[in-house]
Amino acid sequence: MTADLEEKTARYGRMLADALDVAEIRAPPGTPLGDAAVECREMAESYLDDGRHFREEGDPVNALASYSYGYGWLDAGVRFGLFSVPDDTDLFTT
């Protein structure tokens, strides 16, 4: 059974917000890795804001796309070691 668009959009928005809550930048800003992590985090936060805007405007397709892109930025940052995340989370593909 496929997920309803509204349900999936809401779920991905929560997932991105939760992921941002637990992902911590590993390297200090001002270092190459720290600066890359800050940029990834800023992109994820921007896409979260965009997704929320699209939902408010009644555009779940673009909201879902925004949440997905934002999550992709954050998940890639975790995979590249830019962020530390709790061992017991299933939010990331580590």
pLDDT at position 2 is: 59
What does the pLDDT read at residue 94?
60
pLDDT at residue 86 tops 90: no
- Considering its fold, how many domains does the chain have in total? 1
Average pLDDT over residues 46-67: 97
Residue 7 lies in a domain: no
Residue 71 lies in a domain: yes
Arithmetic mean of pLDDT, 50-73: 97
pTM: 0.89
**Scanning the structure block, which residue is given the tokens 């995979």?**
79
Whether 75 is in a domain gets the answer yes
| Pair 85, 24: CB distance under 8 Å | yes
Q: Is 78 contained in some domain?
A: yes
> For residue 22, is it within any domain?
no
Domain assignment of residue 50, yes or no: yes
Average confidence score pLDDT of the chain: 92
Q: Provide the residue range defining the domain that includes 45.
A: 27-84
**21-52 per-residue burial string, b: 16 or more CB within 10 A, e: under 16:** eebebbbeeeeebeeebbebbebbbebbebbb
Residue 46 CA from chain centroid, whole number? 9
Specify if 62 maps to a domain.
yes
Domain annotation covers residue 2: no
* Residue 90 predicted with pLDDT over 60: yes
